A and B are shown apart, each in its own frame.
Chain A
Amino acid sequence: METHAIIETDELTKAYNGQVAVDRLTLRISEGEVFGFLGPNGAGKTTTLLMLLGLTEPTGGTARVMNVDPTREPVRVKGLIGYLQENMGFYGDLNARQMLDFVAELNGLPGNAARSRIDEALAKVGLVDESKKKISAYSRGMRQRLGIAELLIKDPKVVFLDEPTLGLDPDATNRMIELIEALCREKKMTVLLSSHMLHLVQKICHRVGIMIKGRMVAQGPMEQLAKDKFGIGSERYSLEEIYMKYFQEVRP
């Protein structure tokens, strides 16, 4: 299916004090696609997400999210994208409902619409019983689910998930994966997923991109990446093997 691109970047570059964090990144992500963003820590994945969100200004190149330039209209872009950040913070002395209320208010949702959406989101992520507890008493898994609930409140077209399963126990990881799959399937959201959980990426992503040291070294559907590296009969290779292959090539 060839639909128009929701996220487009051209030669997007970001340098911090002469050190290049993202190097001439050109990327197209079309509507409804789930794109897996792979790469070692410090490869520039989060920086790319921040540039697309309009939170950081690129030093070169352009980016467009649903035809909006994040550098020029950051507020509009931030209204379009839901961002589940790495090591997300919460106001510990609020409870889940108050936190979601605050998010709804920041997004300019009127009171009635917000209330029904909050109930729905809490039910979806399974936090109804704990919604009166202070967030400081939440486990890491509960916090991440609350983060998903915030996304549901915002109900964006595009979501960026930055390491959504980092540091979770196996059970919590599975619950997160289910929720993310639901986001992709039921809400038909376009998802940019950055993760080290390669089997998760393999399971839900249509396409993957591998970023190493600021450069996108490979991009495309998994089968194609496998074919590029291992030749014919490559279906048996897992994403992990493909990833390691690319990684070893770049590593000196």
Chain B
Amino acid sequence: MIGIKPIVRKELSDHLSSYRFIILFALIAMVSLITVYMAGLNIKKDLEGVAKPQFVFLMIFTSSGALFSLQQFVAFFGPLIGLILGFDTINRERNEGTLSKLLSQPIFRDDVINGKFLAGVIIISVMMISILMVITGLGLSLLGVVPGVEELWRIFIYLIISIIYISFWLGVAILFSIVFRSVATSALAALAVWIFFSFFVSLGANVLASALTPDAGASNPEAVMRRASIERAVSLTSPMELYTGSTATIIDPMRKTNRMIMQMGIMEQLSISRFAGPLPLGQSVIVVLPYIISMIAITIVCFAISYTVFMRQEIRSF
């Protein structure tokens, strides 16, 4: 495995010195700072007169600033970070003729792709960690509230999930850069996939669910439930839904479930109204664990596909 170190090192220095990274980083830092600043102002206004607000600090992630909350921002535009970092990983080297040079050195072929993926993940982590640190600092001075230990844990888990989410899109971009010879094609294909999953899947889920359950209405609660579960099932094919699902109860302790509608018996209603407090951290994690695991799974599957395609490609065509 000596081959992976120089490749990671070179990729890191390439990324860090590229205009692409600087522009991306500046853009994201700017948007998140503005969002958090606006959110902070809103929170301050909203909480005036509230007796004992809980988990105030986490609200800067979920309450919307100008247009959207930080959580929504990462869900929508996080993929773009991964795609921009990865769409020309392999095909640029192939077009410039450096790939076969790299492969004729005494390294394993998988070192190249592992190293490139790893370097991308490191860059994503650096980006997310530094932005979250700045935001935490800004939140501290804006709200004047010190986050508790549990809140810090929640932010940490949120950070890890976000890194996995963006890494998934990095994996998609690397896959396209292996499959398509042309850099422009792979960039466009990656963008198309992003737009499809981010915007059209939830729309399509709604349409499909309504078409399948025409009899849903106030008089037919079973059909309403069925419609909701169909819609949820379809929309879960989108990684964005998985991400919002898996961060939902983590970053918002007051949320107790991920469903839009549910049926409750009288006793359940009673207990819900009596225990209105937040979920403990462990319980929040358990609620979204399936989401987190499926997100890790699709990331691994995506990388595994790139890996096998890359390992099987004929060198002659490089």
Contact = CB atoms under 8 A, between A and B. Distances in A.
Interface of A: 16, 46-47, 50, 53, 55-56, 74-76, 78-79, 81, 83, 85, 87-93, 102-103, 105-108, 154
Interface of B: 2-3, 5-7, 9-10, 14, 17, 93, 96-109, 314-316
Closest 10 CB pairs of A and B: A89-B97, A79-B106, A105-B6, A89-B98, A55-B315, A106-B105, A89-B96, A83-B104, A78-B106, A108-B2
Contacts of A79: 106
Given A55-B315, A78-B107, 6 more contacts: A16-B314, A56-B316, A85-B101, A89-B97, A90-B96, A106-B107
B106 A91 contact: no
Contacts of A46: 316
B104 A91 contact: no
B108 A50 contact: no
B314 A106 contact: no
12 contacts: A16-B316, A75-B107, A75-B108, A78-B106, A85-B101, A85-B104, A89-B93, A89-B97, A91-B98, A93-B14, A93-B17, A154-B105
Given A78-B106, A79-B106, A56 B101 contact: no
Given A16-B316, A50-B315, A56-B316, A106 B100 contact: no
A106 B6 contact: yes
Main SS class of interface, B: helix
A102 B2 contact: no
A154 B107 CA distance: 13
A59 B126 CA distance: 46
A108 B314 contact: no
Contacts of B2: 108
Contacts of A90: 96, 98, 101
A85 B107 contact: no
B103 A102 contact: no
Nearest to B2: A108
Contacts of B102: 106
B106 A76 contact: yes
Contacts, number: 67
Contact of B104 (A76, A78, A105): A78
Main SS class of interface, A: mixed
Residue of B2, B97, B100 ringed by the most chain A CB atoms within 10 A: B100
Contacts of B104: 53, 55, 78, 81, 83, 85
Contacts of A105: 5-6, 9
B13 to A, nearest CB: 9
Contact of A102 (B6, B17, B99, B315): B6
Contacts of A93: 14, 17
Given A56-B314, A88-B101, A75 B106 contact: yes
Contact of B316 (A50, A74, A91): A50
B90 to A, nearest CB: 13
Nearest to B104: A83
B77 to A, nearest CB: 27
Nearest to A49: B104
Nearest to B109: A74
Residue of A16, A47, A75 ringed by the most chain B CB atoms within 10 A: A75
B98 A55 contact: no
B106 A85 contact: no
A16 B313 CA distance: 12
Given A47-B316, A56-B314, A102-B10, A78 B105 contact: yes
B316 A106 contact: no
B4 to A, nearest CB: 10
Contacts of B107: 75, 78, 106
A97 to B, nearest CB: 14
Contacts of A78: 103-107
A50 B93 CA distance: 18
Contacts of B316: 16, 46-47, 50, 56
Given A50-B315, A56-B314, A105-B6, A88 B97 contact: yes
Nearest to B99: A89
A217 to B, nearest CB: 22
A88 to B, nearest CB: 6
A243 B129 CA distance: 65
A55 B97 CA distance: 14
Nearest to A90: B98
Contacts of B93: 89
A56 B6 CA distance: 24
